[in-house]
């Protein structure tokens, strides 16, 4: 019950005019970036990071959460209106959302997506409040060996997820690891991989690599496709913004099913929003009385996956906040952001900064409400945004990326790194090398190394410590089980993406 | 044709920019030469470089200084965090790359100065690269163990360590970090071989504290402020504080001297330094301003809030203290094998 | 099935092996700092080095050649791609000398001209608006300490 009191305190913190404004601004900015074609939550969080750094940690993170939710919603807007999914988790939304839009019912689809996301977000948050303190309580018992096994397993599961050959995924992961090692070593205090250059002693800044790989590479991709020359896809006129009573009635059960499914699978590390969104879509098709409607504009086909998508994202906060385990790239960026603020997710966070954690959780509730209130009437405006020509958007994205990378450490070296990784990201994309394992290893690499070395220091160099401690052994056994489940689900999702889009899409 | 025109305009603009830049620069240097006795300082924005991440002790102290002095001087003071490399990246930037004109000031602590020099036989940044301005604040060292640990006094604990040196696991941030020197000095005073104890590397004070709370290491040594949240939550307890008087935050915790251990001196501090060839007038300006600041009630209250103690030392005393500390630590590091 | 020396797999395999060797070398130089084989800063460079070499070799000698054809951009597209990257690098340099406002204005104008293919006058106009907004947001409101260059703004 303690957590309810904490949460109420958190609400008290959030509901001040300034904090509300911050949440509102975060949601708006997030939606703004999410609506831009090709930019999903991962890039949105990475390039908007500098905007949050003037604030104190709690407010910065409130804004960050708003950006995250907002960009997810923005992504579904482009999916419905233009048939362009911002992230792979919006692919199922396009299947029925775009046909609905063509029929002139874009408003209904967007409205249902907003409502579905809202309900799923709330359900996910309730789960977060119930589970997180429990996990955090147990988590102090987790020592370095436990964390090491946990992270290693999470990585293995995530590797498997990319939809590319395992060999390429592993190599990319190893390379991510390699880049994370540059800088001062933890146990000796000696610089590693610096080759005598002083600018390398500080290591690479994760955020600048992520901005390069996601935002700059995306712009280069757009340049190659000559998006500026092509007549922009005419977004469909939105006649009626609000969904009808009939729509609401039809989608109430799908929203519920999608949320529950998305949340419970989302707690498990390695089950991403893409997986649950597809599962929810197929589930709706299966239980529907007239499955032939799907793909031609069934409102249930929007409600189910959109809710699952959002519930999974909320569910992902549980392993992130209580154990420090990100289950998807946007959460990995969020983890990196938390570390910039000097907040290391994990049991310590709940012990030492519980006020901040509960304020953030409360702000997520508020953010969801704001998004709902905001998005229904603003749908038309967001749709207009998609009209801005690429020739203006691309330079703006590049300039913001520049500021974003510079401001993390106020270092020009980081900017150069970001540009180089922009080129690399473009080439990786061209040659079908997955970047997600790279990013995850880059973020988790230092932690995995720390936990491994700490374990070895505790056991005087005996590897048996990992199976001798009961919790660590349990994790290893349990992990085997999750691995098998996720492999099966992943195969399925890979096949479904191929069916629906006709290409091997990297997903997360 | 149009393009060519534009290009030439741009080039012209650039040339103009460069020229005007040069002219303003030479003008200011002239002025400096003439008015060397009573210089006008500061006349523009000052950058306060924190070589650590935002939110830590040094950062919070730097922000209080920036708050106070920007009002005092009527010039903006921006705090810039340049973390990485154990404080060396930021120090390199402020002391070696920036102009020694007093507009880039470094906020240091002992882990990036005295301890770094003592622990490294070949340091990138030396003590002599600094011109120490004044000490700002200090934090009291405390020894923490798990709440349900069997020792109830620091004396008991020291006896136990004497009997079982190889059972003592303790956490440190970096091999030549703050905790390492504190523990080394303590072990030396009770006659225990440093290399027999087990060192576990830690990511920071909160990581060390959590490892003690979870029972993964026996001892952590950091400042009182850094331990406060977990002590208040009842997860860890403090055995002793290392200061002449008891700490106002935890008045029940005895000092190391009360526990019969004299001569333990490792304590945390943060202070300002400038590049070695900065004009003395500027150093004096800063020192005078800081001296005034340390008497300000608002400022002292601010330090209390971030759980630090005011510990002002003027330029001469500060430099001397740093020298002494470096000598002590270098001796300690050589004897215990910390120095690499 | 002809043997191709410069296929994607050969080149990437080769690079991966090189990086692996580099990592191994770094592990070796760090080894003397630690007492134990499994504790210390050399462990992960060594481990990752070994794995990279193994996987690099596997990639290099992989039999299957179901490589998809990858079309790299040519001609005008390549030119645009390369010049935008060059402009960005140039921006990094320029900002050191002229500060944020001037360099951003020039960079934005060039990029908008290059990517959007507007007329110069329009490009500069749009760039002016963008720079103003960015200046207010990043410098005035967020106080990001960019190098100030020759100007005080």
- Per the domain annotation, does A406 fall within a domain? yes
Number of domains into which chain A is organized: 1
Q: What is the DSSP letter of A36?
A: S
Contact C150 B21 (CB under 8 A): yes
CA B22 to chain C, closest CA, distance in angstroms equals 8
pLDDT tens-digit series, residues A227-237:
655 555 555 56
- Per the domain annotation, does C65 fall within a domain? no
pLDDT tens-digit series, residues C45-72:
999 999 999 999 988 887 765 556 677 7
For residue B169, the domain's CATH number is: 3.40.190.10
CA C11 to chain A, closest CA, distance in angstroms equals 12
Looking at per-residue pLDDT, the higher value among A227 and B87 belongs to B87
Radius of gyration (C-alpha) of chain A in whole angstroms: 22
Residue listed under structure tokens 């993390």:
A408
Contact C116 A228 (CB under 8 A): yes
B219: helix, strand or coil: strand
Check whether residue B222 and residue B272 sit in a common domain: no
List all chains that touch chain C, counting a touch as 3 or more CB pairs closer than 8 Å: A, B
Contacts of A177 in chain C (CB under 8 A): 44, 48
- Per the domain annotation, does C66 fall within a domain? no
Check whether residue B69 and residue B111 sit in a common domain: yes
Contact B214 A142 (CB under 8 A): yes
Cβ atoms of C126 and C133 within 8 Å: the answer is no
pLDDT, average across residues C106-130: 91
* DSSP sequence for chain C: ----TTSHHHHHHHHHHHHHHHHHHHHHHHGGG-SSSSSSTTHHHHHHHHHHHHHHHHHHT-----PPP-----HHHHHHHHHHHHHHHHHHHHHHHHHHHHHHHHHHHHHHHHHH---HHHHHHHHHHHHHHHIIIIIIIS------TTS--
Check whether residue B151 and residue B288 sit in a common domain: no
CA B295 to chain A, closest CA, distance in angstroms equals 27
- Per the domain annotation, does B222 fall within a domain? yes
CA C2 to chain A, closest CA, distance in angstroms equals 21
Candidate from A88-97, A146-155, A247-256, A377-386 with smallest mean pLDDT: A377-386
List all chains that touch chain B, counting a touch as 3 or more CB pairs closer than 8 Å: A, C
Range of the domain at A428: 2-501
- Residue C126 confidence (pLDDT) above 70: yes
Check whether residue C85 and residue C136 sit in a common domain: yes
- Per the domain annotation, does B26 fall within a domain? no
Range of the domain at B96: 46-139+268-336
ipTM summary value:
0.90
- Per the domain annotation, does B36 fall within a domain? no
Top residue of A148, A187, A189, A200 to mutate, by most chain B CBs within 10 Å, is A189
Number of domains into which chain B is organized: 2
- Per the domain annotation, does B55 fall within a domain? yes
Contact A143 B214 (CB under 8 A): yes
- Per the domain annotation, does A94 fall within a domain? yes
User: Which residues, 6+ apart, have CB-to-CB distance to B323 below 8 Å?
Assistant: B127
- Per the domain annotation, does B25 fall within a domain? no
Candidate from A165-179, A470-484, C90-104 with smallest mean pLDDT: A470-484
Nearest-by-Cβ selection for C98 from B17, B25, B45: B17
Q: Is the dihedral of CA B25, B31, B33, B39 positive or negative?
A: negative
- Per the domain annotation, does A507 fall within a domain? no
Between chain A and chain C, the number of residue pairs with CB atoms below 8 A apart is 161
By the CB < 8 Å criterion, does B47 face chain A? no
- Per the domain annotation, does B258 fall within a domain? no
Residue C46 to residues A49, B198, C39, Cα–Cα distance (Å): 34, 24, 12
Picking from B226, B242, B258, the residue at the C-terminal end of a domain is B242
- Of residues B322, B317, B315, B310, the one with CA closest to residue B113: B322
- Residue B29 confidence (pLDDT) above 70: no
pLDDT tens-digit series, residues B286-319:
999 999 999 999 999 988 888 889 999 999 999 9
CA B33 to chain A, closest CA, distance in angstroms equals 32
- Per the domain annotation, does C1 fall within a domain? no
Top residue of B2, B12, B17 to mutate, by most chain C CBs within 10 Å, is B17
- Per the domain annotation, does C152 fall within a domain? no
- Per the domain annotation, does C2 fall within a domain? no
Spatial distance between the Cα atoms of B222 and B183, rounded to a whole number of angstroms = 10
- Of residues A19, A55, A18, A111, the one with CA closest to residue A365: A19
Candidate from A218-222, B145-149, B255-259, B309-313 with smallest mean pLDDT: A218-222
Query: Omega of the bond prior to B56 within 30 degrees of 0, cis?
Result: no
Number of domains into which chain C is organized: 2
- Per the domain annotation, does B12 fall within a domain? no
Range of the domain at C51: 8-60
- Per the domain annotation, does A508 fall within a domain? no
Contacts of A193 in chain C (CB under 8 A): 22, 26, 45
Contact C120 B2 (CB under 8 A): yes
Sheet strands side by side (includes B268-275): B77-81, B46-50, B104-109, B268-275, B130-139, B309-313
- Per the domain annotation, does B225 fall within a domain? yes
By the CB < 8 Å criterion, does B67 face chain C? no
Picking from B192, B207, B242, the residue at the C-terminal end of a domain is B242
Contacts of B6 in chain C (CB under 8 A): 120
Check whether residue B183 and residue B165 sit in a common domain: yes
- Residue A163 confidence (pLDDT) above 60: no
């Amino acid at each position: 019950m303690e957590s309810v009191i904490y949460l109420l305190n958190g609400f008290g913190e959030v509901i001040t005019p300034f904090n509300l404004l911050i949440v509102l601004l975060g949601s708006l900015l997030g939606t703004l970036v999410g609506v831009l074609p090709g930019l999903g939550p991962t890039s949105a969080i990475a390039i908007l990071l500098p905007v949050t750094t003037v604030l104190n940690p709690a407010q910065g993170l409130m804004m960050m959460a708003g950006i995250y939710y907002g960009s997810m919603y923005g992504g579904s807007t482009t999916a419905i209106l233009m048939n362009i999914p911002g992230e792979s988790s919006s692919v199922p939304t396009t299947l029925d959302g775009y046909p609905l839009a063509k029929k002139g019912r874009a408003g209904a689809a967007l409205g249902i997506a907003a409502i579905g996301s809202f309900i799923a977000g709330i359900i996910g948050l309730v789960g977060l409040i119930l589970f997180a303190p429990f996990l955090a309580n147990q988590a102090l018992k987790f020592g370095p060996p436990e964390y090491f096994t946990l992270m290693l397993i999470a990585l293995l599961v995530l590797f498997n997820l990319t939809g590319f050959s395992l060999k390429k995924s592993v190599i990319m992961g190893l390379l991510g690891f390699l880049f994370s090692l540059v800088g001062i070593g933890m146990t000796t205090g000696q610089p590693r991989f610096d080759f005598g250059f002083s600018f390398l002693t500080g290591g690479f800044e994760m955020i600048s690599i992520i901005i390069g790989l996601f935002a700059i590479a995306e712009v280069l991709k757009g340049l190659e496709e000559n998006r500026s020359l092509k007549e922009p896809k005419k977004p469909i006129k939105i006649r009626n913004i609000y969904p009808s009573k009939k729509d609401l009635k039809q989608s109430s059960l799908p929203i519920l099913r999608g949320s529950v499914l998305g949340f419970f699978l989302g707690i498990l590390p390695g089950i991403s929003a893409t997986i649950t969104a597809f599962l929810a879509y197929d589930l709706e098709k299966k239980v529907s009385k007239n499955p032939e409607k799907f793909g031609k504009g069934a409102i249930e086909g929007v409600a189910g996956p959109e809710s699952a998508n959002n519930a999974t994202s909320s569910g992902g906060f549980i392993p992130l906040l209580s154990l420090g385990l990100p289950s998807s790239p946007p959460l990995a960026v969020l983890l990196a952001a938390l570390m910039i603020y000097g907040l290391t997710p994990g049991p310590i966070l709940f012990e030492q900064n519980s006020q901040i954690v509960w304020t953030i959780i409360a702000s997520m509730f508020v953010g969801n409400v704001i998004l709902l209130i905001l998005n229904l009437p603003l749908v038309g405006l967001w749709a207009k945004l998609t009209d801005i020509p690429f020739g203006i958007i691309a330079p703006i994205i590049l300039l913001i990326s520049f500021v974003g990378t510079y401001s993390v450490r106020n270092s020009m070296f980081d900017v150069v790194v970001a540009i180089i990784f922009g080129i690399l990201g473009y080439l990786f994309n061209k040659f079908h090398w997955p970047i997600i394992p790279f990013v995850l290893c880059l973020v988790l690499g230092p932690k995995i190394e720390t936990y491994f070395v700490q374990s070895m220091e505790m056991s005087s160099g005996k590897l048996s410590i990992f199976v001798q401690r009961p919790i660590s052994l349990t994790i290893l056994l349990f992990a085997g089980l999750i691995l098998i489940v996720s492999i099966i689900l992943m195969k399925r999702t890979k096949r479904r993406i191929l069916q629906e889009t006709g290409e091997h899409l990297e997903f997360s | 044709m149009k393009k060519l025109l534009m290009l030439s305009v741009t080039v012209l603009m650039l040339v103009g920019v460069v020229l005007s830049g040069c002219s303003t620069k030479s003008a200011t240097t002239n002025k400096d030469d003439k008015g060397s006795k009573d210089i006008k300082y500061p006349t523009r924005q000052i950058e306060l470089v924190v070589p650590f991440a935002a939110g830590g002790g040094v950062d919070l102290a730097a922000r209080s200084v920036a708050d106070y002095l920007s009002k005092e001087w009527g010039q903006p003071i921006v705090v810039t965090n340049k973390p990485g490399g154990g404080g060396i990246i930021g120090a390199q930037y402020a002391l070696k790359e920036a102009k020694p004109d007093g507009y880039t000031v470094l906020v240091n602590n002992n882990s990036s100065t005295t301890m770094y020099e003592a622990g490294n036989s070949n340091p990138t940044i030396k003590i002599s690269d600094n011109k120490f301005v004044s000490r700002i604040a200090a934090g009291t060292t405390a020894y923490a163990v798990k709440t349900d640990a069997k020792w109830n006094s620091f004396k008991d604990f020291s006896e136990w360590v004497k009997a079982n040196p190889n059972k003592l696991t303790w956490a440190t941030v970096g091999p030549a970090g703050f905790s390492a020197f504190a523990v080394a000095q303590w072990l030396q005073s009770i006659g225990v071989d440093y290399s027999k104890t087990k060192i576990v590397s830690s990511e920071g004070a909160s990581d060390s504290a959590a490892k003690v709370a979870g029972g993964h290491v026996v001892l952590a040594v950091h400042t009182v402020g850094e331990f406060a949240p977990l002590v208040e939550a009842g997860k860890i307890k403090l055995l002793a504080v290392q200061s002449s008087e008891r700490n106002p935050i935890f008045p029940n915790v005895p000092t190391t001297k009360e526990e019969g251990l004299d001569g333990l001196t490792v304590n945390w501090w943060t202070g300002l330094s400038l590049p070695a060839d900065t004009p003395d007038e500027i150093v004096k300006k800063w020192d005078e301003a800081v001296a005034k600041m340390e008497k300000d009630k608002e400022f002292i209250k601010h330090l209390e809030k971030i759980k630090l103690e005011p510990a002002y030392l003027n330029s001469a005393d500060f430099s001397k203290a740093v020298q002494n500390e470096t000598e002590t630590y270098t001796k300690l590091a050589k004897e215990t094998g910390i120095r690499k | 099935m002809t043997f191709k020396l410069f296929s994607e797999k050969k080149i990437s395999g080769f690079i991966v092996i090189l990086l692996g060797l580099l990592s191994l070398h770094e592990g070796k130089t760090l080894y003397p700092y630690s007492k134990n084989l499994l504790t210390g800063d050399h462990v992960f460079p060594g481990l990752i080095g070994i794995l990279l070499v193994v996987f690099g070799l596997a990639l290099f000698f992989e039999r299957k050649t179901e490589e998809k054809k990858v079309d790299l951009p040519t001609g005008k597209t390549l030119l645009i791609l390369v010049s935008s990257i060059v402009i960005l690098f140039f921006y990094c340099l320029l900002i050191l000398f002229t500060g944020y406002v001037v360099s951003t204005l020039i960079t934005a104008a060039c990029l908008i001209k290059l990517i959007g293919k507007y007329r110069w006058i329009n490009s500069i106009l749009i760039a002016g608006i963008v720079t103003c907004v960015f200046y207010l947001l990043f410098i005035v409101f967020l106080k990001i300490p960019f190098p100030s260059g020759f100007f005080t703004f």
